Chains A and B, each alone.
Chain A
Amino acid sequence: MSYRHTIGSRTYQFADLKTLLARATPLRAGDSLAGVAAATYEERVAAQYALADVPLRRFLSETFVPYEQDEVTRLIIDTHDAAAFAPLAHFTVGELRDWLVSDLADAAALAALAPGLTPEMVAAVSKLLRNQELIGVARRVEVVTRFRNTLGLRGHLATRLQPNHPTDDLRGIAASLVDGLLYGSGDAVLGINPATDNPRQVGDLLRMLDGVRQQYTIPTQSCVLCHVTTTLELIKQGAPVDIAFQSIAGTEAANKSFGISLSLLQEAQAATLALGRGTLGDNAMYFETGQGSALSANAHHGLDQQTCEARAYAVARRYRPLLVNSVVGFIGPEYLYDGKQIIRAALEDHFCGKLLGLPMGVDVCYTNHAEADQDDMDTLLTLLGVAGCNFIMGIPGADDIMLGYQSTSFHDALYLRQVLGLKPAPEFAAWLAQQGIFDEYGRQLPAKAARLLGQLPAALRA
């Protein structure tokens, strides 16, 4: 059905719900590239007025990608929890907005509501929120996950240690790994983006990471971010896989372009859980997402990129992940042009993921052809810290020499923890104190105090 709103003598009409959401989306390059953005500033606000009046129930009957054609739509509809939705079933999108920002929406209420919300509902309401509301609401949500430590507790901030190297050189990676550990990084995961998906090379990296983790008895998990089919093959070969990684998107066609399906993710989760390597919990998946991925695969079905992104969170939530990471600024300026668009998108992603019950982290990042710099990242980093983001990346000097983009450094995490009083995951914090890296208050000790320095990893002694 169509939607409309009149401003003065001008009536704006929107052919369907997905078009209404697209036109209501704050301006960004990817929606203009896809031809789904509002033509004028007035049309955008008209769409937001019209969107505010849409009953939430409509999202259960008017699907964005046809049920018959798309397994992500089927997942969203078939797993919708009507009982959790019931208390808000009579709300419009605008009423959901008013309720979310009210004092009634506390942590318990939001956690209870999560299974009743669909990604499209969450995307819709995010379009009516200002940045401060995206932060303020997300901050109330606590999503805790466990594998070998406890992530997401209120007042804590974890980091993924990302020691990439352009040729997967074991010593080069180990050098960055040691650097990160000595700066207190790595409680979310020790996670390498491999330069190639070659199973033998990925296996070598997994064994090196696992060796370092065991040598220093670090309460964390490791991961090589290869394709999930490579992980499955390595599990069969007996490689030390802690958690399985995969990039995911919000439509079946986009996932197909990544070479995955829901059944493949299911298989990977089952195979990883069967290894039983988690000591504190069984959240065994790590997903990465990012606005624009569906459009870049020409698989967006006329949806705006933020709504596609929220649908990817429905995929993620199915497999109870340990970590979900929006790699927000990596995709480039044709999707998110500048620092303003990257910051807005990151806050939306964090808000939508958290509201759907996901352990959201954000890769606070940009490429050199985007109109952004480290000052924009400082702003976003600080906002996400306030919003209660579960984890950020830790990269030597913020400069990833393999992927060729800039993210957040080990120092950036020290800054954020200091200004906001955030602590590492409790088990990891205890390890850092025991190693002489941080003191009992979470402050970094002089570098020479660290015990790790006296016994470098095998890869560096060779």
Chain B
Amino acid sequence: MGDLPAPASPAPDPWAGLRAFTDARIALGRTGTSVPLHEALAFRLAHAHARDAVYSELDASKLLADLPELGLPVVQVQSQAATRPQYLQRPDLGRQLAEAARAELAGLAAGECDVALVLADGLSATAINTHAPPLLRRLVPALQAAGLRLAPLVLAEQARVALGDEVGQLLRARLVLVLIGERPGLSAPDSLGAYFTHGPRPGLTDEARNCVSNIRPAGLGYEAASDKLFFLLGEALRRQLSGVGLKDESGRLAEENSGGEAGWPG
């Protein structure tokens, strides 16, 4: 058998112009029943970014170096999930503080305060490492200028959203805001979510929270996210509520979603 001619790289389908209407992977073309190799590798790369994000860790040294410029003390805590595999399989442990962290936070509470800020790794520490500092550089001065009393900044590892409720209670905060790495998608491994709860205490569920999601330059930008959070936190403190009640009372909040941890299609 002689040399086979090298196959031409398969072209996209003739309707590739429809890609202007969606980010979905359409008009990929094919060779046999397979997608072209460059499409297969692009998919694999996007999944690799998402997987790396799930296993990324909070860059504590950089955050501890950068965050004090905000003028807030910074404290590091862990949840009861000891490892990432345990964190992934036991969401209940990621919602509870380790014993040492409880004692430390209880010792820090000087008196009642208005807002406690928690930076939690969630499912993408990359999102916190990348987007939390620029967001906080806008949000913290705005909150301080409004006369709100802020608790020490808390860095939380192996943490779920609800961990913030225990942190907020121990720091005697009227409201807790948790910035957390969202579950990575193929299109965005670094999306930051911001969840807040009025009157935080352990045992609250998603109905008690509000969420601003997809915070990243290619999604909801820092400035817009900071403005939105500043408005929402103010409303929650003024009306002394969060969650479904806050959402129902303001048409402007209609676009928020409750950001549950286990969704369901349909």
A residues near B, CB below 8 A? 29, 32-33, 163-165, 169, 171-176, 178-179, 182, 193, 225-227, 245-247, 288, 290, 292-293, 296, 327, 330-335, 337, 363, 367-369, 373-374, 395-399, 401, 403-404, 406, 409, 411, 414-415, 418, 444, 447-448, 453, 460
Contacts and interface: CB of A to CB of B under 8 A. Distances in A.
A178 B18 contact: yes
Interface in B81-120: 88-92
B21 A460 contact: yes
B266 interface: yes
4 shortest A-B CB distances, which residue pairs? A397-B25, A225-B266, A172-B22, A179-B26
B263 interface: yes
A33 B89 contact: yes
Contacts of B185: 368, 401, 404
A404 B262 CA distance: 12
B79 to A, nearest CB: 14
B183 A179 contact: no
Interface in B214-266: 261-266
A31 to B, nearest CB: 11
A196 to B, nearest CB: 9
Interface in B5-42: 13-15, 18-19, 21-28, 30, 33-35, 39
A447 to B, nearest CB: 5
Interface residues of B, number: 43
B156 interface: no
Contact of B266 (A169, A245, A460): A245
**Most chain A beta-carbon contacts within 10 A, residue among B15, B24, B186:** B24
B34 A397 contact: no
Contacts of A401: 22-24, 185-187
Given A178-B15, A401-B187, A334 B91 contact: yes
A398 B43 contact: yes
B41 to A, nearest CB: 12
Contacts of B186: 368, 399, 401, 404, 406
22 contacts: A165-B22, A169-B21, A171-B21, A173-B22, A175-B26, A176-B22, A179-B24, A247-B266, A288-B266, A331-B262, A368-B51, A369-B184, A373-B47, A396-B28, A399-B46, A401-B22, A401-B185, A401-B186, A411-B28, A414-B30, A415-B33, A447-B15
